[in-house]
Chain A
Amino acid sequence: MNLVSLPTWRSVFTVATWPVEVGRTRSRRDFLITDSHGNTIAEAAAVYVLFDLNSKRPALIPKTITEAYGALPDVFRDLPMEALPDFEPSVPFSDIQVTPGDIDANGHVNNVRYLIWMLDALPQRRQHLHSRRLGPH
């Protein structure tokens, strides 16, 4: 997510979203967030992976799902999945206890909670930046 600015209390913002690519097991969806004047607040992209809970492996996206979205064939392609770099902790870290408030309707920790935990780990002075980039890229 690329942040341009952040809206203030009691303002209204709009999220527009559309599918960009649909692979065999993953799909990408883009987002454009604007304020009430149409100015861009942020742009974002998210990759979704269909996961088989029984086999604990990524699963093929069934045609019934892609057809339900009505995506045209030109969005279907195999998305490359780059390997994550090795993790080399250079600073001390602490364990986080997952609480019931972290769990969403799917019964797992809500995706946004991970980012909240990461932001909470930043030094306080960096938490007040109003323009920043969030996410793994």
Chain B
Amino acid sequence: MSEPHLDGSRFIASFGVRYQDVDSDLRLRPTALLDATQEAALLRWDGVLTGSMQHQEVGRGSGSE
């Protein structure tokens, strides 16, 4: 699992599926995915606030951002 980083223009963050995140089928609860998207956006915001990833996220989606 890598540290959050910018890959080209995309912000990338990895998450491990924990026991408290799964249902009785041991599959991730959908809301945990939503949690992860929210955390990724906040990590990106934190990178902006701290200046650690400033001016690297540019352009639009489809991998050309």
Contacts and interface: CB of A to CB of B under 8 A. Distances in A.
Instruction: State the main secondary structure of chain B at its contact with A.
Output: mixed
Nearest to A32: B10
Interface footprint category on B: 35 or more
A94 B18 CA distance: 31
Interface in B47-65: 48-49, 54-61, 65
Residues of A contacting B: mostly: mixed
A12 B12 contact: no
B27 A116 contact: no
A105 B12 CA distance: 22
B42 to A, nearest CB: 9
Contacts of A72: 58-60
Contacts of A20: 60-61
Given A9-B28, A13-B28, 18 more contacts: A7-B27, A12-B14, A13-B17, A14-B14, A14-B15, A16-B12, A18-B11, A18-B57, A19-B65, A20-B61, A42-B33, A44-B34, A68-B48, A69-B57, A71-B58, A112-B34, A128-B23, A134-B30
The 4 A-B pairs of least Cβ separation, nearest first, read A70-B55, A15-B40, A18-B65, A6-B27
Interface of A: 1, 3, 6-20, 29-31, 33, 41-42, 44, 46, 48, 65, 68-72, 74-75, 110-112, 115-116, 119, 127-128, 130, 132, 134
